[in-house]
């Protein structure tokens, strides 16, 4: 069980290096197949536009089983991991019965993927059982409360799985875009944020970045569950020579970081032929295929030398995407939940980060779920998280377990 907790990003040592190697099949497989839909492309030079500026909009049919809402997609100007202007996309659901400037929830979906077809803006309408997003029941309950929901493609235009800071910036700019788009009537809406696991990581980063990156947003609170708050700790915890059933997620995260930081990842090592084949197979894949290809493999199998963290640039990239190490402190209250014996993430990183927030005066309410399982904890904590957000939208004082 301990090896599961050591897994998710530890294979950065095995794949990030090879992902950036020039002139190899692995390098060719590093990026996803681009979308042919011009909605996802920049309409010229966007560098002079403010983050959150709406570049394009379109009404959409409701995804299957989504009821009582109108659906829009917004393309907007956002910022990449290294400060470059990028196009972000969010899907916004607006209840048919809502008050003008009613609550807006930014919901960061769990997306463990390298293919653009896996992003919410596409997967919500997919009929592929390996791609489809099954959030309709929970979100329909939210819509009955009169809350609008922004669901950003928080992995960005290259599906950079593992680039957590990027997810926070895209989340905040997706909120800005929803507020800026007048037909939605959200300009003065109070904002809540929520997400679990990878979606919780984007949420936690958005909360931490908001005071400096988007200080104008009226964020009443963020509900963040099962957050991998320190990717470096997860990397060092990996049993590098031990095959594991979900090794594919680690390899995918490494590839994603290589996409965002192509000039800063070390290139002193190389993939084995087996590693090259695995990278080629998953470079445009969603979760199930990534898990299938990587199942019961290890870092030892795909590289000859796994000491990437000896390189200061590679180490710095992982540290920059570990929210525990980010010095900024969320200004808005936090509801945080996780299993105290989570077998997938380093719980001590969560404890360290929330303790620092408490010392800085941010109200933090922690809920420990009675399960050792990472995914079941998501469901067990969800009702309390939604009630906590409801109370923040109602203006009630935020409780704290600090």
Domains in the chain, start-ordered, CATH in brackets? 2-32+238-319 (no CATH), 52-230+322-393 (3.40.50.1820)
Query: Would you state the pLDDT for residue 21?
Result: 33
Query: Would you state the pLDDT for residue 189?
Result: 98
Query: Would you state the pLDDT for residue 305?
Result: 61
Say whether 350 sits in a helix, a strand or coil.
Answer: helix
Query: Would you state the pLDDT for residue 331?
Result: 97
Helix axes 312-320, 12-19, angle to 10 degrees: 110
Return the exposure string of 27-59: e unless at least 16 CB atoms fall within 10 Å of the residue's CB, then b. bebbbbeebeeeebebeeebeeeebbbbbbbee
Q: Which sign, positive or negative, has the C-alpha torsion 153, 156, 157, 163?
A: negative
Q: For residue 44, is it left (φ>0), alpha (ψ between -120 and 50) or beta?
A: left
- The 10 Å Cβ neighbour count of residue 217 is 22
Query: Would you state the pLDDT for residue 244?
Result: 79
Query: Would you state the pLDDT for residue 16?
Result: 36
Contact 389, 221 (CB under 8 A): yes
pTM for the model stands at 0.91
Contact 12, 236 (CB under 8 A): no
- The 10 Å Cβ neighbour count of residue 61 is 9
Query: Would you state the pLDDT for residue 36?
Result: 94
Which mean pLDDT values do the consecutive 10-residue runs of the chain (402 residues) have? Answer: 32 34 43 94 96 98 95 98 97 95 97 95 90 85 96 97 97 98 97 96 98 98 96 66 80 87 65 83 93 86 62 85 97 97 89 98 97 91 97 98 97
Nearest-5° Cα angle at 270, 266 to 276 = 120
Query: Would you state the pLDDT for residue 352?
Result: 97
Query: Would you state the pLDDT for residue 1?
Result: 31
Query: Would you state the pLDDT for residue 120?
Result: 97
Report the helix count and the strand count for the chain, using DSSP H and E: 15, 9
Residue 257: both structure tokens together: 């970081």
Q: Give Cα separations from 134 to 56, 120, 149, 167, 177 (angstroms).
A: 26, 11, 15, 21, 25
Query: Would you state the pLDDT for residue 311?
Result: 67
Residue 212: both structure tokens together: 């400096």
């Amino acid at each position: 069980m301990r090896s599961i907790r050591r897994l998710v990003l530890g294979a950065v040592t095995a794949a990030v290096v090879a992902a950036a190697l020039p002139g190899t099949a692995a390098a060719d497989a590093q990026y996803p197949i681009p979308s042919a839909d011009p909605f996802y492309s920049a309409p010229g030079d966007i560098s002079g536009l403010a983050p959150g500026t709406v570049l394009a909009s379109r009404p959409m049919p409701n995804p299957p089983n989504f009821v009582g809402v109108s659906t829009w997609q917004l393309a907007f100007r956002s910022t990449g991991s290294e400060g470059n202007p990028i196009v972000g996309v969010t899907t916004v659901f607006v209840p048919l019965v809502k008050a003008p400037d009613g609550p807006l929830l930014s919901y960061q979906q769990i997306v463990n993927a390298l293919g653009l077809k896996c992003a919410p803006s596409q997967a919500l309408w997919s009929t592929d059982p390996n791609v489809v997003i099954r959030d309709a029941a929970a979100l329909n309950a939210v819509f009955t409360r009169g809350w609008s929901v922004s669901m950003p493609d928080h992995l960005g235009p290259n599906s950079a799985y593992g680039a957590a800071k990027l997810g926070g910036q895209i989340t905040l700019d997706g909120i800005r875009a929803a507020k800026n788009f007048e037909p939605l009537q959200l300009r003065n809406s109070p904002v809540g944020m929520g997400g679990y696991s990878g979606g919780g990581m984007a949420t936690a980063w958005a909360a931490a970045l908001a005071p400096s990156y988007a200080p104008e947003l009226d964020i009443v609170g963020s509900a963040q569950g099962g957050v991998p708050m320190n990717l470096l700790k997860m990397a060092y915890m990996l049993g590098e020579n031990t095959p594991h059933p979900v090794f594919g997620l680690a390899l995918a995260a490494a590839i994603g970081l290589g996409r965002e930081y192509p000039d800063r990842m070390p290139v002193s090592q190389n993939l084995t032929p087996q590693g090259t084949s695995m990278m080629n197979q998953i470079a445009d894949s969603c979760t199930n295929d990534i898990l299938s290809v990587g199942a019961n493999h290890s870092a030892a199998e795909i590289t000859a030398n796994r000491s990437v963290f000896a390189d200061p640039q590679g180490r710095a990239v992982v540290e920059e995407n570990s929210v525990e190490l980010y010095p900024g402190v969320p200004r808005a209250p936090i509801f945080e939940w996780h299993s105290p014996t989570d077998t997938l993430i380093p719980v001590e990183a969560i404890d360290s980060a929330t303790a620092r927030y408490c010392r800085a005066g941010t109200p933090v309410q922690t809920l420990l779920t009675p399960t050792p399982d990472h995914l079941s904890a998501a469901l067990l904590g969800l009702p309390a998280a939604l009630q906590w957000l409801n109370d923040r939208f109602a203006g009630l004082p935020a409780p704290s377990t600090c």
